[in-house]
Structure 1
Amino acid sequence: MERWILLGMAPVFLGFVIWEAWYWHGKRAVYTLRDTLSNAALALMHQGADAVAWLLVIGIYYAIYQHRLFDLPASAWTIVALFVAQDFFYYWFHRAHHRIRWMWASHVTHHSSERLNFSTAFRQSLTYPVSGMWIFWLPLAWLGFEPKNIVAVVAINLGFQFFVHTETVGKLGWLEYVFNTPSHHRVHHARNPKYIDRNYAGVLIIWDKLFGSFVEEDEAVPCDYGIVKPIHSHNPITLTFHEWVAMFTDAARPQPLLSRLKQMFGPPERAYSEVAQPALSMRVEDEEAKISG
């Protein structure tokens, strides 16, 4: 169902991409043909892998649903509750995919472009099923939400996020306090030390504000997009697997077993450049000081 919802929205997405490319034409090189074609190829690869993955794991959802805590038949109220709950779990999925290298190996594909435009939303990895994206929605089935409705709400959430991948829209007034907006998501895609690993929101920015990961876009610090260890390639295969190769190469080096596991499941700091390291270290020290204080 997720695939069909997103495919149904494809003409809308394509229309916005064409409009945005026209808007920026002759002003700034927000789009390039090679980058856009890479994004399109990655989207097709992701959709194929995602369709197979849901066929394989939907049975797990229904198995858990048989042991649900509550009976939550579809209604306006339960759909709203499911939307909010799914967005909450999306926040933790997204945060985990930045802080656990095994998961970052998939998510890095999305962040690897040095441009931000509507087509960047298509830039996804086919390895998300391997990194464990589907695991984060399992509690929803246990709570009592029917799996087909879970899949539909996941698709709606992802569809919304297409519209925050843009430089064309400025700040949106009071909406900035509640919702993920283009301004908030520009921060998320930036590699400036001030912005790294911030604003994980799907639809509601309130989760970032509650859990300490929110940073507002600062006009004095223009967003520099991409990853701090750039991958200079437009090859979809390279973009999909380069971090997996790097991770397994690092883990294969002679070292104790615990070190190997940290290479694969610890924070992905080694994927960051030395420029980003001081900012990350200062953040850890600040967090430790808050806890001890």
Structure 2
Amino acid sequence: MAAALPIEQRPWLLLLLAFVLVVAVLEGLVRSFWLRQAYDWRAFATSLGDVVGRRAVDALGLSVALPVLAFVHRHRLTELPLSTPQAFALLFVGQEFCYYWYHRCAHRSAWFWASHCVHHSPRELTLAAALRLGWTGKLTGTTLFFAPLVWLGFPVNAVLATLALNLLYQFWLHAPWLPRLGPLEWVLNTPAHHSVHHASNAEYLDCNYGGVLIVFDRWFGTFVERRDDVPIRYGLTEALDTYNPLRINAHGWRQLGRRLRAARGLRGWLVALFGPPGEPAGG
């Protein structure tokens, strides 16, 4: 069982990574040499540095979630083999639901934001920015949000593969130059919706958490439409002026450390760790 868990090591995912890298490079080349637009190649290099660092950390085999997923799998309620279209549809919707709540917590909990803020650090939204995912996600336990699917009986590899495909879908969402998709905007997460998600404007903060679907944002009141009268400002609300991947990955943890040092008592520590990242920890 344990040997089957690290699906991210499989060759087909490495091929997909190579594909998205090539497409991200093409976007930069087209903008720079064909459209004659400004393109931040230093930010592109920073995102590549983040990819290399993440692969190095992954090679250590450290993960909070995988032992828990193995335990949940041993105590699953039943078996849900993917032998029918209905089973695939249930897994897809269940994964989207779990992803929505993971992504919402990644913005609303300081513990998860310490890692997730790396993805929001680019000050320009490009396809290369989609690759900047941070190095410490596995150490914060983000995959635990998908444990209910394993407990219900879906195969662990199927859950992780569905999550990987979710993230692959989101790659193209980081191209805000793509047009709106008409009626599909009501159901799917699109570049227009995701550009709002990456905005640091007060009008746009903490919204549009969906992966492939946008319906859960609409149902739970976190959907925000892109407005023509509010130009989007990308990046973190607290400007991070560096191209150093190490500093970018340490930024959120340094913020969390300051919150913990300022906290008083057990309640203050818990608020510092799991409360909203933009609010003082209190005492």
TM-score if structure 2 supplies the norm length?
0.89
- CA drift at 1:18: 2.6
Of residues 8, 13, 16, the one that matches 1:2 is 8
Q: Is the 8 A contact 2:62 2:139 kept in 1?
A: no
Q: Is the 8 A contact 1:101 1:265 kept in 2?
A: yes
Give 1:42's aligned residue: 50
Of residues 226, 231, 243, the one that matches 2:240 is 231
Residue 188 (structure 1) aligned with residue 188 (structure 2): no
Give 1:108's aligned residue: 117
Q: Deviations over 1:168-198 (max 9, x none)?
A: 2021111111111000000000011111001
Q: Is the 8 A contact 1:101 1:267 kept in 2?
A: yes
Give 2:134's aligned residue: 125
Residue 14 (structure 1) aligned with residue 17 (structure 2): no
What SS does the corresponding residue of 1:267 show, helix, strand or coil? coil
Deviates more, 1:202-211 or 1:13-22: 13-22
Cα RMSD, aligned residues only: 1.9
Of residues 245, 258, 276, the one that matches 1:267 is 276
Give 1:71's aligned residue: 79
Letter in 2 for 1:19: L
- Distance change (3 Å), C-alpha of 1:55 and 1:198: closer
Cα distance in 2, alignment partners of residues 175 and 19 from structure 1: 27
Give 2:41's aligned residue: 33
- CA drift at 1:10: 2.2
Letter in 2 for 1:143: L
Q: Structure 1 regions of 5+ residues with no counterpart?
A: 272-293
Cα distance in 1, alignment partners of residues 101 and 37 from structure 2: 35
- CA drift at 1:74: 1.9
Cα distance in 2, alignment partners of residues 128 and 56 from structure 1: 9
What SS does the corresponding residue of 1:194 show, helix, strand or coil? helix
Cα distance in 1, alignment partners of residues 125 and 247 from structure 2: 20
Cα distance in 1, alignment partners of residues 172 and 211 from structure 2: 11
Q: Structure 2 regions of 5+ residues with no counterpart?
A: 1-6
Q: Is the 8 A contact 1:187 1:215 kept in 2?
A: yes
Q: Deviations over 1:43-99 (max 9, x none)?
A: 222234345557774343232122222321122332222121111100000000100
- Distance change (3 Å), C-alpha of 1:12 and 1:68: same
Once the two structures are superposed, the pairs formed by residues 62-211 of structure 1 within 5 Å of their partners are 62-75=70-83, 76-211=85-220
Q: Is the 8 A contact 1:69 1:143 kept in 2?
A: yes
Cα distance in 1, alignment partners of residues 115 and 77 from structure 2: 32
Q: Deviations over 1:206-255 (max 9, x none)?
A: 01001000011111112110111011111111100112112112311373
Deviates more, 1:255-264 or 1:192-201: 255-264
**How many residue pairs end up in the alignment?**
270
Deviates more, 1:15-24 or 1:124-133: 15-24
- CA drift at 1:199: 0.2
Deviates more, 1:82-91 or 1:65-74: 65-74
What SS does the corresponding residue of 2:204 show, helix, strand or coil? coil
What SS does the corresponding residue of 1:218 show, helix, strand or coil? coil
Q: Is the 8 A contact 1:248 1:264 kept in 2?
A: no
What SS does the corresponding residue of 2:255 show, helix, strand or coil? helix
Deviates more, 1:87-96 or 1:170-179: 170-179
Of residues 61, 69, 83, the one that matches 1:61 is 69
Cα distance in 2, alignment partners of residues 154 and 115 from structure 1: 25
Once the two structures are superposed, the pairs formed by residues 268-287 of structure 1 within 5 Å of their partners are 268-270=277-279
Letter in 2 for 1:2: E
Runs (4 or more) in structure 1 with deviation over 6 Å come to none
Of residues 241, 251, 260, the one that matches 1:251 is 260
Cα distance in 2, alignment partners of residues 190 and 232 from structure 1: 17
Q: Is the 8 A contact 1:192 1:224 kept in 2?
A: yes
Letter in 2 for 1:6: L
